[in-house]
Protein backbone atom coordinates (compact mmCIF):
# COMPACT_ATOMS: atom_id res chain seq x y z
CA UNK A 1 0.00 0.00 0.00
CA UNK A 2 1.15 3.47 -0.88
CA UNK A 3 -0.84 5.54 1.59
CA UNK A 4 -0.66 5.67 5.35
CA UNK A 5 -4.34 6.50 5.83
CA UNK A 6 -5.84 3.40 4.27
CA UNK A 7 -4.16 1.12 6.83
CA UNK A 8 -6.53 2.49 9.48
CA UNK A 9 -9.51 0.91 7.73
CA UNK A 10 -8.78 -2.76 8.47
CA UNK A 11 -12.38 -4.01 8.28
CA UNK A 12 -12.99 -2.22 5.00
CA UNK A 13 -9.77 -3.68 3.59
CA UNK A 14 -10.98 -7.20 4.38
CA UNK A 15 -14.33 -6.67 2.63
CA UNK A 16 -13.35 -4.53 -0.39
CA UNK A 17 -12.29 -5.76 -3.80
CA UNK A 18 -8.68 -5.41 -4.92
CA UNK A 19 -9.75 -2.90 -7.57
CA UNK A 20 -11.45 -0.70 -4.96
CA UNK A 21 -8.53 -1.00 -2.54
CA UNK A 22 -6.05 -0.02 -5.24
CA UNK A 23 -8.11 3.00 -6.31
CA UNK A 24 -8.71 4.27 -2.76
CA UNK A 25 -5.07 3.67 -1.85
CA UNK A 26 -4.00 5.70 -4.88
CA UNK A 27 -6.41 8.52 -3.98
CA UNK A 28 -5.16 8.68 -0.40
CA UNK A 29 -1.51 8.54 -1.52
CA UNK A 30 -2.02 11.42 -3.95
CA UNK A 31 -3.90 13.45 -1.34
CA UNK A 32 -1.24 12.80 1.30
CA UNK A 33 1.43 13.98 -1.12
CA UNK A 34 -0.61 17.09 -1.97
CA UNK A 35 -2.02 17.61 1.52
CA UNK A 36 -1.61 21.40 1.43
CA UNK A 37 -3.03 21.60 -2.08
CA UNK A 38 -6.55 20.49 -1.22
CA UNK A 39 -5.79 16.86 -0.38
CA UNK A 40 -6.27 17.42 3.35
CA UNK A 41 -10.06 17.29 3.06
CA UNK A 42 -10.04 13.84 1.51
CA UNK A 43 -7.37 12.50 3.89
CA UNK A 44 -9.09 13.85 7.00
CA UNK A 45 -12.79 13.58 6.14
CA UNK A 46 -13.43 10.84 3.58
CA UNK A 47 -13.73 7.17 4.50
CA UNK A 48 -12.88 4.66 1.76
CA UNK A 49 -16.54 4.05 0.89
CA UNK A 50 -17.06 7.80 0.53
CA UNK A 51 -14.04 8.07 -1.76
CA UNK A 52 -15.59 5.40 -4.00
CA UNK A 53 -18.98 7.10 -3.87
CA UNK A 54 -17.75 10.59 -4.73
CA UNK A 55 -14.90 9.94 -7.13
CA UNK A 56 -14.74 7.67 -10.17
CA UNK A 57 -11.39 8.87 -11.52
CA UNK A 58 -8.16 10.42 -10.30
CA UNK A 59 -8.97 13.39 -12.52
CA UNK A 60 -12.12 13.98 -10.45
CA UNK A 61 -10.05 13.87 -7.25
CA UNK A 62 -7.63 16.46 -8.62
CA UNK A 63 -10.50 18.69 -9.70
CA UNK A 64 -12.10 18.44 -6.25
CA UNK A 65 -8.80 19.39 -4.60
CA UNK A 66 -8.33 22.29 -7.03
CA UNK A 67 -11.79 23.58 -6.13
CA UNK A 68 -10.98 23.31 -2.41
CA UNK A 69 -7.86 25.45 -2.95
CA UNK A 70 -9.76 27.95 -5.05
CA UNK A 71 -12.49 28.14 -2.42
CA UNK A 72 -9.92 28.74 0.31
CA UNK A 73 -8.30 31.54 -1.66
CA UNK A 74 -11.68 33.23 -2.08
CA UNK A 75 -11.55 34.10 1.61
CA UNK A 76 -8.65 36.48 1.12
CA UNK A 77 -7.84 39.40 -1.13
CA UNK A 78 -7.00 38.49 -4.70
CA UNK A 79 -8.42 37.81 -8.12
CA UNK A 80 -9.39 34.52 -9.79
CA UNK A 81 -6.26 34.92 -11.89
CA UNK A 82 -4.12 35.04 -8.76
CA UNK A 83 -0.95 32.98 -9.32
CA UNK A 84 -1.31 31.44 -5.85
CA UNK A 85 -4.17 29.28 -7.15
CA UNK A 86 -1.98 27.90 -9.93
CA UNK A 87 1.00 27.38 -7.63
CA UNK A 88 -1.07 25.45 -5.10
CA UNK A 89 -2.67 23.30 -7.79
CA UNK A 90 0.49 22.23 -9.60
CA UNK A 91 0.27 18.46 -9.62
- Mean pLDDT score, 6-24: 93
- Mean pLDDT score, 62-87: 75
**Number of structural domains in the chain:** 1
Q: Which domain holds residue 83?
A: 5-88
HEC states along the chain?
A: CCCCHHHHCHHHHHHCCHHHHHHHHHHHHHHHHCHHHCHHHHHHHCCHHHHHHHCCCHHHHHHHHHHHHHHHHCCCCCCCCCHHHHHHCCC
Confidence label for 55 from pLDDT (cuts 50, 70 and 90): very high
Rg (CA), the chain: 14
- Mean pLDDT score, 9-23: 94
- Mean pLDDT score, 6-19: 92
Confidence label for 49 from pLDDT (cuts 50, 70 and 90): very high
Amino acid sequence: MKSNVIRAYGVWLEEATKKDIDFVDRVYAICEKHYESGGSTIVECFEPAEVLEHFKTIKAVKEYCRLRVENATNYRWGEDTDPEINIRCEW
